[in-house]
Amino acid sequence: MTPTLVQSHLPHAGTAPRVNLGARARDWAEIQERMLVPLYEAVYERLDVGDGTRLLGLGCGSGLALLMAASRGATVTGVDPSAPERLALARRRLLPDAAPEAGAGAARLVAGGPADAAGPDVPAYNLVTAFQPIGCMAGDAEGLSGLLKAAAPLTDRGTPVVLAGWGPPERCATSTVMRVATRLADPMRSAGSWRPALRDRLEEVAQRAGLKPDGSGRVACPFGYADVESAVRGLLSTGLFDAAVGATDKAQVDKELTEALHPHRRHDGTVWMPNVFRYLIARTP
């Protein structure tokens, strides 16, 4: 997934496959992004997000998590340095009447990193979220650590910072499908293919960024699609199959994804894959 899934902030090795970024951003926003809604809801409920919350969303993408926080009364700022197509969709959701370069009201979107969300008139943030699941791609943990270090000075002391990742492979039906990315991408695995999440990866990232872990949770986030075609489009929109497409071609990836999804297809043609995601709450110093 993903969520780019933090990989949008990382350099890619080798030649990137040609993709229609606008179409992929729409597939993410219309098909895949909603799969993590239970995660957003669980975090917001646990942290009592609402009036008085000043949220900074790292890698905000097309902005569904921000929209949900804003609907609870939070003032939201989203930053994303390298996903302009998704950020354009976020602006349509959150700032339909605003100029493209400026935020308005309770929402603000920035095509940049955390430092670009700072300013003399910007109050300190009291919640930071990094909802793009990490731990399944080479280098994603290091990339997130850098973002968290840059965000920490913009917060109040003790501000909660939320990190997210995939749960154990045995609890994630989608992991069997994601292995298509790894198998087809070899030996280009470092270019961005999926790999099983490691235990305690979220804690390691938080500590590397100078944050103190302060609680965690697990949330069921099933991936449900209207049909196999939608499932393929949604999964490809995560970017986790880019290395596989680069190593083979899109037709081959589509074919093998379709085959891998077959066990998860129900009698009515829909696709259903139960998954568990994990989140960590850490605190700024």
* Mean pLDDT per 10-residue segment, the chain (285 residues): 38 51 95 97 98 96 97 96 92 77 66 93 96 77 89 96 94 92 68 63 94 97 98 94 90 96 98 97 97
pLDDT digits (tens, 9 = 90+) for 51-95: 999 999 999 999 999 999 999 999 999 999 888 999 999 999 999
In this prediction the pTM is 0.88
Give the Cα separation of 12 and 33 in Å (integer).
23
Contact call for residues 263 and 194 (beta carbons, < 8 A): no
Give the Cα separation of 188 and 24 in Å (integer).
22
pLDDT digits (tens, 9 = 90+) for 206-240: 999 999 999 999 999 999 999 999 999 999 999 88
**Which two tokens mark 174?**
């989608």
Q: Is 220 helix (H, G, I), strand (E, B) or coil?
A: strand
Phi, psi dihedral angles at 237 (to 5 degrees): -70, -15
Give the Cα separation of 205 and 164 in Å (integer).
11
All structural domains of the chain, each given as residue ranges with its CATH number in brackets, are 7-173+193-224+274-283 (3.40.50.150)
**Which two tokens mark 91?**
């602006």
Contact call for residues 75 and 55 (beta carbons, < 8 A): yes
Contact call for residues 127 and 75 (beta carbons, < 8 A): no
Q: What is the pLDDT of residue 228?
A: 98
Q: How crowded is residue 256: how many other Cβ atoms within 10 Å of its Cβ?
A: 18
Q: What is the pLDDT of residue 94?
A: 94
